[in-house]
Structure 1
Amino acid sequence: MGGGGGRGMRVATDPGDLPAALERCRSEAAAAFGNDAVYLEEFLPQAKHIEVQVVGDGRRVVHLGERECSAQRNHQKIVEIAPSPGLDPAVRDALCDAAVEIAQAAGYR
């Protein structure tokens, strides 16, 4: 599955719009990434977009902290702020720990 830059993403607020939105996503993803696989998730309009960057060598993984990427236009990031303002320190620690654990389990390099 490929993705990035807002390509292959659509919001369908009405169930009747879903088939056409899904077809457009598949077509756009195939053209951009050579793969038309997609997944569906609930749209949360007021959600914060927080990312944790990790680096690994296949054995050990470390995180480089989190960043907030909520300022977007057409699903493309405009500004990234690090560290994320207003993020509770306990939540920050939990996010970073989870990112490292997931990357280690995947053998990330």
Structure 2
Amino acid sequence: MKEFIYETMYILRPDIGEERTDAEIDKYRNILLENGAEDLDVQHRGKRRLAYDILKHRDGVYVQMNYKAPGASIAVMEKAMKFSDDVLRYLTIKQPVQQPDADDEDGDEEE
């Protein structure tokens, strides 16, 4: 089974307040952890200007998460985001994990 590293970027409504923003971030973080995510790194990027208006909002609160997880956990998280009124947009991308070469496993380097 191949392992993947995922990155999810999502944008929250700017008018929900700091306390509710933190609650939303914790909600999606916990969904991933409950569904098998590892090495979860959450970065609250703060409020930024959007490239174009989304649902009449000019600004949004950007959040980035990097993690290893099974694909099923992403589906659960994205379904929760889809039905949330506080999430304006979300995007998840995956990248294959770099596997070390069989020759380099013993740590000896050729000179």
Per the normalisation by structure 2, the TM-score is 0.30
Q: Which structure's relative contact order is higher, taking Cα pairs within 8 Å and 6+ residues apart?
A: 2
| Larger relative helix fraction | 1
| Larger relative strand fraction | 2
Per the normalisation by structure 1, the TM-score is 0.30
